[in-house]
Amino acid sequence: MSDIDVAIVGGGPAGLMAAEVLSRAGVAVDLFDAMPSVGRKFLLAGKGGLNLTHAEDFEPFVSRFGTRASVLRPMLEHLGPQAVRDWAASLGIATFVGSSRRVFPTDMKAAPLLRAWLHRLRHPAPGGAPVRFHMRHRWIGFAPDGVLRFATPEGEASVRPRATVLALGGASWPRLGSDGAWVPRLRDAGIDVTALEPSNCGFDIAGSPVHGVAEGWSALFSQRWAGQPFKTVALALDEPTGRHWHRGEFVATATGIEGSLVYALSGALRERIAREGIATLWVDLLPDHSAERVRAEVAHPRGSRSLSSHLKGRLGLDGIRLALLHECLDRDTLHDPVRLAPAIKALPLRLLRARPVAEAISSAGGVRFEALDERLMARARPGLFVAGEMLDWDAPTGGYLLTASLASGAWAADGLGRWLRRPA
C-alpha cells in the first residue's frame, strides 16, 4: 500500500493537463497509465496533422457542444482556443490557422509537443513539483475502503491518494488504452454513467432494392468504390425547419459511409436511428448547381449519347457520384429527366446503424454532469474528480474534442486544488 498526495489515472490530454496544473501549483502528483507510454491517442490524432483547436469566435465555438454547451462554457472560458495556442507556444510550439480555421502546429506534428510537455512535467519551473509517471498500471477499481487498485506486470498494487483525477478516456481506439472498462466500476461506486456510444463515426447503409441487397452496397459498388471519396457534395437531414445542407466530403466504405462530413452529423444520425430505427441522409451531388440548372441540363436532348456521357458532358457528373445514382435509382428513374434531376440534388441514403465504438474517432456518453459538482468532483465520492472524454459530452472533430479535453483537465485540477485547500 502506498500513500500519495494526488493520483491522476490516465495519460491522455485531460490527465496530462490536470497534472500540469497541479504540478505548477507545487502539488505532488503521481500519474498512472495502463499503456507503456502516455499520449498514445494524442500521437495517433496527430498522425495526419495535429488539430489542436479551432480559431472561430468563442460563441460559435461553444455552440458546437450542443446540449452540453452551458456546462462546458466556464471550462472553455478558463482554457479556451486562444489559451490552448498560448500554452503550445509556451512549450516552444508555434501554431497556424488553416484555411478551414483549424489550428495546427507549424510542423503539423504531435510528437515534438508531447516531448516538450513531458519534459516540463518531469522538470517543472522553480516552485513546481515533478510529476511521477507509473506506466503499465491498469486501474481495476476501488477497494472497499476507497483505495485505488491497479493491475501491473508485478501483480496488483494499491494506492491511497488524498484526491484523484480520473481521465481514462472513452471507448474509441481501445488498443490505445481507451476501452471504457471503467464504466461498470464507476456505476458500482454509485456514480451515474450514460452508456458510451460511437461519435465522429461511420455508418452502415441499408441495401438498395434496386440490387436486391438487404443491407450494404451492392457487390459491384463495394468492390469498385469502397475507400473512394465523394468530393464537393452536401448532406442534410430532414428537420422541423427543413433541410440544412452541409458541404464537404465523405468516403464510401465497404458497408456504408464515413468521413468528415458524416462525422459532423454523427450525433444527429445516431439519435435519429435510436428514435426511428433508421435515418435518411440526403445527398446533393451537385451543390454548386441550382436545381433549375440541373433540371435544364438533364432534360437537354442527348441524341445518341449514353446517359453517362450526357451527365458528364452537361454537368460534370461522373465517377463515384454517377455510380451512386446507379446504385440508388432504378432504370426507369435514371432515364426519366423529371425524376432524375431532383434525385441528383437530393438523393436519399438510408442508414441502419453506427459503426462500432471501437472504430469511432471518439465516444459520446460517460459520467453524467449531474453526478458531479461544478468543479467535476463526484458527489458520491468526495475527492474523486473526472475529466476528459469520460464526461458525458459530445463534439465534432476540428479541434473541439481536444480543446474541451484539455479544458476539463485543467478545470478538474483547479477544483481538486481548491478541495485540498478547504478548511479542515
What is the DSSP code string of 168-192?
A: ---SSSGGGT---THHHHHHHTT--
DSSP state letters, 334-375: HT-HHHHHHHHHSEEEEEEEEPPGGGSSEEEEEE-GGGB-TT
Whether 17 and 164 share a structural domain: yes
Give tens-digit pLDDT for 237-266.
Answer: 999 999 999 999 999 999 999 999 999 899
Pair (166, 227) in one structural domain: no
pLDDT for the residue 235 = 97
391 DSSP β-pair partners: 367
pLDDT for res 3: 85
Residue 356 has pLDDT above 90, yes or no: yes
pLDDT recorded at residue 99: 85
Tell me, what's the pLDDT at 423? 83
Q: How many CB atoms lie within 10 A of CB 140?
A: 16
Average pLDDT over residues 33-57: 90
Same domain, 152 and 223: no
Average pLDDT over residues 50-54: 95
| 185 and 334 fall within a common domain | no
* Residues of the chain above pLDDT 70, percent: 100
pLDDT (average), residues 116-132: 97
Indicate whether 191 and 273 sit together in one domain.
no
Question: What is the reported pLDDT for 404?
Answer: 97
pLDDT of 210 reads: 78
Give, to the nearest 10 degrees, the angle between helix 307-315 and helix 319-328: 130
- Residue 123: closest CA among 189, 24, 51: 24
7 and 154 together in one domain: yes
Q: What is the pLDDT of residue 108?
A: 92
| Same domain, yes or no: 157 and 28 | yes
24, 76: one domain: yes
What does each C-alpha distance from 171 to 53, 273, 364, 412 come to in angstroms? Answer: 22, 20, 9, 21
The pLDDT > 90 percentage for the chain reads: 89
State which of 333, 354, 375 marks the end of a domain: 354
* pLDDT for residue 419 is more than 70: yes
Would you say residue 378 has pLDDT above 70?
yes
Residues 65 and 28 in one domain: yes
- The reported pLDDT for the residue numbered 1 is 59
DSSP characters for 74-136? Answer: HHHHHS-HHHHHHHHHHTT--EEE-TTSEEEETT--SHHHHHHHHHHHHSPPTT--PEEEE-S
**Same domain (yes/no): 321, 349:** yes
Residue 100 pLDDT greater than 90, yes or no: no
Residues 156 and 294 in one domain: no
Last residue of a domain, one of 354, 379, 406: 354
CATH number at residue 104: 3.50.50.60
Q: Given 304, 326, 354, which residue is the final one in a domain?
A: 354
Task: Give the three-class secondary structure for 70.
Answer: helix
- Please give the single-letter amino acid code of residue 64: R
Residues 123 and 241 in one domain: no
Q: What is the pLDDT of residue 25?
A: 96
pLDDT number for residue 4: 87
What is the pLDDT confidence band of residue 372, given thresholds at 50, 70 and 90?
Answer: very high
Domain extent, residue 314, equals: 203-354
Per-residue model confidence (pLDDT) at position 44 = 84
Domain count across the chain = 2
Q: Which residues of 179-205 are buried (b: 16+ CB within 10 A; e: fewer)?
A: bbbbbebbeebebbbeebbbbbbbbbb
pTM of the model as a whole: 0.91
